[in-house]
Chain A
């Protein structure tokens, strides 16, 4: 597979490490949210046949974490974003 890195352009997927669903970005707050919230966050996932947002890490590249939107049926990659930008825009903050 080829992932079109937002900074570096097309790069071979062999350079990346796959983590999983991009919802892993939405970590609850440990000081205010409880076990239930963390349990959902860590274990409950959708498993769509089709567009799927997922986290990839460019380990053999620039070490960027990316949010890759990929069609799980065709492997077509629809969108690639820097995870840091996505997280920052989503108000993840500090």
Chain B
């Protein structure tokens, strides 16, 4: 078969959605490739060397921006690495090449739905959703958190800017949660 398969977003649509609810803007992102990178046991030196200048390796509970790769910490010795999907769809293969046998790399692009949240101040929305002290944590903060029984990653990019990664299969439930919470806050 030569013709390619068409892609659908986690919400089951051809294109990502965005929602404006009062001051809150929820933007689905469908243009990011994602892979997990885990340092192999005892290979920290080789791992750090391979990453240097290419893949940022932020501290626990942090994210770091870069080009083409950005990343955020998810577990001891493990990061999620992001890159533009259009140019890095096969991100896992690229990173395997980069890290060689110093890391275990796994494709994660389609394991997640990503929503970018924007407002003048996201705190009133996020305090209805999760226990992260959003106004207090620094820009670049990244953490797994629980939103209405859904395990998500939350990245703070500014007081009014955040990224949420939730499990792909729960995309509709997660969007519903965000919409309902936004409606109850405005």
Contacts and interface: CB of A to CB of B under 8 A. Distances in A.
Interface of A: 7-9, 12, 14-15, 59-64, 82, 84
Interface of B: 60-61, 74-76, 131, 143-146, 151
Contacts of A14: 131, 146
Nearest to A7: B60
Contacts of A9: 61
Given A61-B144, A64-B75, 12 more contacts: A7-B60, A7-B61, A8-B60, A12-B131, A59-B151, A60-B144, A60-B146, A60-B151, A62-B60, A62-B74, A62-B76, A62-B144
Contacts of A15: 145-146
29 contacts: A7-B60, A7-B61, A7-B76, A8-B60, A8-B61, A8-B143, A9-B61, A12-B131, A14-B131, A14-B146, A15-B145, A15-B146, A59-B151, A60-B144, A60-B145, A60-B146, A60-B151, A61-B143, A61-B144, A62-B60, A62-B74, A62-B75, A62-B76, A62-B144, A63-B75, A64-B75, A64-B76, A82-B76, A84-B76
Classify the secondary structure of B's interface with A.
strand
Nearest to A94: B41
Classify the secondary structure of A's interface with B.
loop
A89 to B, nearest CB: 15
A12 B143 CA distance: 13
Nearest to B150: A60
B70 to A, nearest CB: 19
A80 to B, nearest CB: 14
A7 B61 CA distance: 9
Contacts of A62: 60, 74-76, 144
Contacts of B151: 59-60
